[in-house]
């Protein structure tokens, strides 16, 4: 029985063969993959992962594709999307949400119910699982500020639930970055607030993003982490005169220097080459090693 037959027989979910990954990434770049699978539930995901591990099949789990750069080469394995693992239950100020739920959508739903704490996430284009993995944040807040617990699959595919204090959160970091765990769902603890004030804050920040970020082009948000609370990657890049610098179809945004945009049919390699050039120039000029926020996959393998 081949992979597709197994997925259909076990009713795992949607399966696409030789799927182009640029359809599933915010940069709109990347080669194809042998199979692109969207499990319909956590139980079906576990069945698929057991099959993958038993048959030693290469795989990669993605969320909204907003923080990953796949090379133009074929990915010889299975890409798993968690977009259907998106259940949402709100009880009082506690929010139980699946890893595949879009963060922007969640922020708006919570705001509409008068729950405050997630306003910072109203412009982050990932899903809940990816945001927890990266401890995504903005406006001096991040996921660890609202998290209560996270449920995930460990290396042996056991379901584990831990409190946020046990998950080693820090700036753009969590324990998940050092392990091959699969985030499934989280419980958030928000606060009751004034619905009108919450929505006004979200709308004001949306206006500011439209003015300061190149949202009209495919990108993956901020490329580099800030080296410190007082040193900003965008300022370093801008001071080097790199705004507008272009390699192939990839370009440093003229609106915000910490954004690389797919300006003109860029390839994944154009983007990565531009990232590496920026890193080299910043290192040479400031002796600072910029850390990339995006995950670079299927390069040099």
Out of 172, 205, 206, 225, pick the active-site residue.
172
- Whether 222 sits among the annotated catalytic residues: the reply is yes
268 CB-near residues (< 8 Å, 6+ apart): 27, 29, 30, 31, 69, 70, 71, 72, 299
Ramachandran category for residue 157: left, alpha or beta (phi over 0 → left; psi -120 to 50 → alpha):
left
Across 133-264, the runs of DSSP E, i.e. the strands, are: 137-138, 141-142, 147-153, 159-163, 182-189, 191-192, 219-222, 246-247, 250-252, 259-262
Q: Which helix (H) or strand (E) holds 53?
A: helix 42-54
Element (H, E) at 17: strand 13-20
237 Cβ contact list (under 8 Å, min separation 6): 224, 243, 252, 257, 258, 278, 282
Q: Catalytic: 166?
A: no
Q: Which of 83, 222, 233, 253 is labelled catalytic?
A: 222
For residues 130 and 68, give the distance between their C-alpha atoms in angstroms, rounded to a whole number: 10
User: E strands, 53-126, where?
Assistant: 59-62, 68-70, 75-81, 88-91, 94-98, 115-116
293 given a catalytic annotation: yes
Hey, which residues are catalytic here? 172, 222, 293
């Amino acid at each position: 029985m081949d992979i597709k037959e197994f997925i259909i027989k076990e009713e795992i979910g949607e399966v696409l063969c030789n799927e182009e990954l640029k359809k599933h990434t915010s940069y709109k770049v990347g080669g194809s993959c042998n199979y692109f699978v969207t499990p319909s539930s956590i139980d079906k995901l576990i069945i698929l992962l057991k099959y993958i591990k038993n048959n030693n099949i290469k795989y990669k789990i993605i969320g909204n594709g907003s923080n990953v750069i796949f090379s133009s080469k074929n990915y010889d394995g299975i890409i798993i999307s968690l977009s259907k693992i998106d259940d949402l239950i709100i009880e009082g100020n506690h929010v139980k949400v699946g890893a595949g739920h879009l963060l922007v959508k969640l922020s708006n739903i919570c705001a509409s119910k008068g729950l405050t704490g997630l306003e910072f996430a109203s412009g982050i284009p990932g899903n809940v699982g990816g945001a927890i993995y990266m401890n995504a944040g903005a406006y001096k807040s991040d996921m660890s500020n609202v998290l209560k617990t996270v449920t995930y699959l460990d290396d042996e595919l056991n379901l584990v639930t831990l409190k946020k204090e046990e998950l080693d959160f820090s700036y753009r970091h969590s324990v998940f970055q050092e392990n091959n765990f699969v985030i499934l769902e989280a419980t958030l603890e928000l606060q009751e607030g004034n619905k009108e004030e919450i929505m006004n804050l979200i709308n004001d920040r949306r206006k500011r993003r439209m003015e300061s970020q190149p949202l009209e082009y495919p990108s993956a948000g901020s490329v580099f982490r800030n080296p410190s609370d007082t040193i900003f990657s965008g300022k370093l890049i801008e001071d080097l005169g790199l705004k507008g610098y272009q390699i192939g179809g990839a370009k440093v945004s003229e609106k915000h220097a910490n954004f690389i945009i797919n300006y003109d049919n860029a390839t994944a390699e154009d983007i990565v080459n531009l990232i590496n050039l920026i890193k080299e120039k910043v290192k040479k000029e400031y002796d600072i090693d910029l850390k990339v926020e995006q995950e670079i996959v299927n390069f040099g393998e």
